Amino acid sequence: MILVSACLIGMMCRYDGLAKADEKVIQYIRDKWWIPVCPEQMGGLATPREQAEIVGNRILSLGGKDVTEAFEKGARETLKLVKMARVTKAVLKARSPSCGCGMIYDGTFSGILRPGSGKTAQILMENGIRVISEEMIEKDDFSFPHTL
């Protein structure tokens, strides 16, 4: 069972109320069992919502609101789902403060990246789930051991 960021399969759950459908992901999951999730919605955040980034050990919206609790709740709820559905792999949206794995925005809202992972990607990896982004799908590289 593969967990997929809902925005990658066309669900309009992003902060801006849009989707980010990715044809490679849609093709990849066609012949597999999969389940979509939007951790930020599962954390209780509305759509649309303010853009947010990880700043130090908190998650702040562009307007300065601390949304850490909602992001952490979304990560915990996603982990519950992962355990219930016996998910072993996840294809998550690159660079998101929830779903990004390996590289995320640096907290300055200026498009600069830094090493790190989003709250949900991190908790999944800590629990043994193989996580890749849509940008790694061509390699189907679930064997690659990603660091946190």
Task: Write out the H or E segment, with its range, that includes residue 114.
Answer: strand 113-115
The identity of residue 140, as a single letter, is D
Q: Which of residues 28-57 bind ligand SF4 (CB under 6 A)?
A: 38-40
To ligand SF4, the closest distance from the beta carbon of 13 in angstroms equals 4
Total binding residues toward ligand SF4, as defined by CB under 6 A: 12
Contact 105, 95 (CB under 8 A): yes
Q: Which of residues 69-128 bind ligand SF4 (CB under 6 A)?
A: 93, 96, 98-99
To ligand SF4, the closest distance from the beta carbon of 99 in angstroms equals 4
Phi-psi region of 10 (alpha: psi -120 to 50; beta: other; left: phi over 0): left
To ligand SF4, the closest distance from the beta carbon of 68 in angstroms equals 14
Q: Per CB under 6 A, does 13 bind ligand SF4? A: yes
Q: Which residues bind ligand SF4 (CB under 6 A)?
A: 5-7, 13-14, 38-40, 93, 96, 98-99
